[in-house]
Chains A and B, each alone.
Chain A
Amino acid sequence: MIITNNLTKLYGEQTALDHLNLSVKEGEIYCLLGANGAGKTTTINLLLGFIEPTSGSAFINQLNVQESQRDTKRFLAYIPENLMLYPSLTAVENLDYFSGIAGKTLSTSALKELLQEAGLQPEAFDKRISTFSKGMRQKVGIAIALAKDAKALLLDEPTSGLDPQASNEFGSLLQKLRTKGVATLMATHDLFRAKEVATHIGIMKDGQLKQQFTADDISLSELEKAYLDTVEYKELAL
């Protein structure tokens, strides 16, 4: 569902992404780990078509992202680190707007069902987004993905800044989407959450995918060691 072939991005002499080969199939959750500047967000931006690759290609639902940007976005949902919606609109209105401009016309009851499915409390449906916490906004983001009937979900640090309960709820939502066959690519620093929700985990450094694991084949401590070894974490240097 999500495929990158030798995807490379250079900014002048600096390599942001170096021949990335990645594949996320239906029902898989692939967590990309790495320090800041490892190339996680660049990968997501390239998959969204926000930036052009220097070389290589990316595919969503077998469509080349660069060649069919608008079509690939029909199958794609994206939740950034800070999901910003329209603060003066309610949750239902925001969902109606974003699903509407994506070409999905839904009734108010259907919109509310989606919000409920995304885990939002019913009393929050008609409240303005300006009163929402980050966790509640992320749930509206999930509802947008559900409304779009997205085949692929791109998440950029979605759990950063969430409290443990909200983070846990978010993990459960991802599992729910996984059962629907959604292919999820999540960039994160959160090793614990990655181990908990992912089916596959990759560790990036300097734009390269250094290591890949199947989540079931590695324990949290092994993952932590692999991560620290890969990113060459030096405690004293801090």
Chain B
Amino acid sequence: MLSYNFKYELKILLRSRWIQLLSIVLLLLFGFSALNGKQKVEKRKKDITAAHDEVKENDAMMLKLLDSVERGMEVSASRWTIPTSPMAVGNYHPRVAAMEPQPMAFMATGQADLFTHYVKPKVTGDDVALNFTEMTSPVQLLFGSFDLAFVIVYLLPLLIIAFSYNVLSSEKESGSLRLLAAQPIGIRTWVLQKLGLRFFWLSILVVGSLIVVFLVLDLNPFAQFNLFLGLLGLILVYMLFWFALAFLVNLWTGSSSKNAVALIGVWVLFVLLVPSVLNQLGNTLYPMPSRTLMINEMRSLKAEATKKQDEILDNFLRDHPEYAINDTTQFRGFYHRYMASQKIIKEELSPLVNSYEEQLQKQQEWIGLFKWISPAIITQESLNQMAGTSTGDYENFRNQVVDFAGTWREHFMPFLYNNTVFSQADYPNLPSFQFKPKTHSSSQAIPILFLVSLGLFGLGFVVSKGIKKGGILETN
């Protein structure tokens, strides 16, 4: 039976123009979404390059100024910006801490439209004040990005539903099922083969369209072959899940209209409702503390610290005798007091900042616990991880930037407290940021979705056995 189904299913699909229509639709959807993603990645790269170029230009200016000062020449610059002051270098010549896009970043916007991809931590800024948010149109955020992940997670299931909802019911409604059922075949096996063949042809079209789109847009899919294989694997098991659902619904319900409503209902549930309900529940169960409260608290702490700066500085120098010993002038100015108080402020603020981190962590744990309810969530999450745009990736970037901000600050402390000037010779020793992408543990989504799909196929067989004999031939 399989060889005949294989031979004639393709003919029927070709003659009904399904294959042609799907090819065009997939090429358009994949093409447009991949192009969108590519443009976003290019803009991101351009922004990072521009930031690096700006630093290079500033550095060139700084080195010129240093050279002039070191030669004993007069320089026409504000006193507090002359780079012989370590604080001037730390504040006015920061390095770029950039999160370079990963090779598959074009695939999923993920958190990329919410967070910035480069930060310039200054020596006087505090970690919590580092701004990682991106200026984005709220309308764009409302509707989301038309990226490849959107097409795969949201639109592909709709195409599968349109392609498979009436495999059995159309035979019932046209009357050909009675002739089929009079043959020595099992109707369930026949439905399974028909859906299996449609899955096979759609998979060919999806993989083919993706390769064509990637090649046309110069996104060489074979450069990151393992990632590309992972992507295909994920798409195929996600498609298999929807075909398994279609199998279950085809055998369970009756008429084409009921099947369509049932499948669309499941789509709404898994793709729209579950993710938004989980998100809402996460926010309700683990609400974030007020940001205004945190800012007020931060300001009052800073004001307190300012009042006690002399005392704080004395304590700081007691803790760091190396700074007091090496300095013959013992000059103490604004920055000495300021930098000494920063540590105190950071310590005082940490419970408040940690409460944010903890609540965010709890929200993420909550979603992580229940994400398995919806295949759409785990597929989206896996795609984001492949693209390097997941929450974890941005969290990793933020942590690296905070670490680097500390390194940057600490680099200038000996200069400041020893009252030594910054010179051209010190320039090559300035710390620089090197982003280390997060390595995700291998995705569990593929085996889990595969097992769920097998379970649904099995359930389909069990459920259809429970249907009264002959019921499968009746149009409900």
Contact = CB atoms under 8 A, between A and B. Distances in A.
Interface in A2-51: 45, 48-51
B183 interface: yes
Contact of A78 (B3, B7, B179, B473): B179
Nearest to B185: A101
B15 interface: yes
A83 B180 CA distance: 11
A73 B470 contact: no
B176 A101 contact: no
A101 B15 contact: no
Contacts of B208: none
**Contact size range, A:** 20 to 34
Given A50-B469, A86-B176, A88-B16, A93 B8 contact: yes
B176 A70 contact: no
B284 interface: no
**Contact size range, B:** 20 to 34
B125 to A, nearest CB: 69
A73 B184 CA distance: 5
A98 B179 contact: yes
Interface string A100-126: 111100000000000000000000000
A84 B184 contact: no
Nearest to A86: B12
Nearest to A97: B8
B469 A52 contact: yes
B299 interface: no
Q: Determine chain B's interface SS by DSSP, over half rule.
A: helix
Interface string A58-78: 000000000000110110111
A89 interface: yes
A96 B3 CA distance: 12
Contacts of A50: 178, 181, 469-470, 473
A82 interface: yes
A85 interface: yes
Interface in B170-217: 174-176, 178-186, 190
| Residue of B1, B4, B468 with most chain A CB atoms under a 10 A cut-off | B4
Nearest to B470: A51
B184 A78 contact: no
| Residue of A70, A84, A96 with most chain B CB atoms under a 10 A cut-off | A84
Contact of A101 (B183, B469, B470): B183
Contact of B12 (A71, A88, A141, A144): A88
A70 B186 contact: yes
Contact of A74 (B184, B186, B470): B184
Contact of B11 (A45, A71, A93, A102): A93
A84 B179 contact: yes
A48 B4 contact: no
A103 B1 CA distance: 7
A54 B49 CA distance: 80
A80 interface: yes
A48 B1 CA distance: 20
Contacts of B8: 86, 89, 93, 96-97
Given A51-B470, A80-B178, A89-B8, A103 B15 contact: no
B306 interface: no
A85 B179 contact: yes
A216 to B, nearest CB: 31
Contacts of A80: 175, 178-179
Contacts of B185: 70, 101-102
A84 B181 contact: no
A88 B11 contact: yes
A89 B470 CA distance: 27
B167 to A, nearest CB: 13
Given A71-B184, A73-B183, A84 B469 contact: no
A102 B12 contact: no
Nearest to A48: B182
| Residue of A85, A86, A101 with most chain B CB atoms under a 10 A cut-off | A101
B182 A101 contact: no
Contacts of B469: 49-52
B68 interface: no
A83 B174 CA distance: 10
Contacts of A77: 182
Given A45-B470, A50-B470, A86-B12, A100 B184 contact: no
Contacts of A49: 469
Contact of A48 (B3, B181, B468): B181
B5 interface: yes
A86 B12 CA distance: 8
Contacts of B186: 70
A43 to B, nearest CB: 14
Contacts of A144: 179
Contacts of B174: 84
Contact of B175 (A78, A82, A103): A82
Contact of B182 (A73, A84, A88, A93): A73
A73 B1 CA distance: 15
Interface in B4-20: 4-5, 7-8, 11-12, 15-16
A101 B181 CA distance: 11
5 contacts: A51-B469, A86-B176, A88-B15, A96-B8, A100-B1
Interface of A: 45, 48-52, 70-71, 73-74, 76-78, 80, 82-86, 88-89, 93, 96-98, 100-103, 141, 144, 154
The 5 closest A-B pairs by CB, nearest first: A84-B175, A100-B4, A78-B182, A51-B470, A88-B15
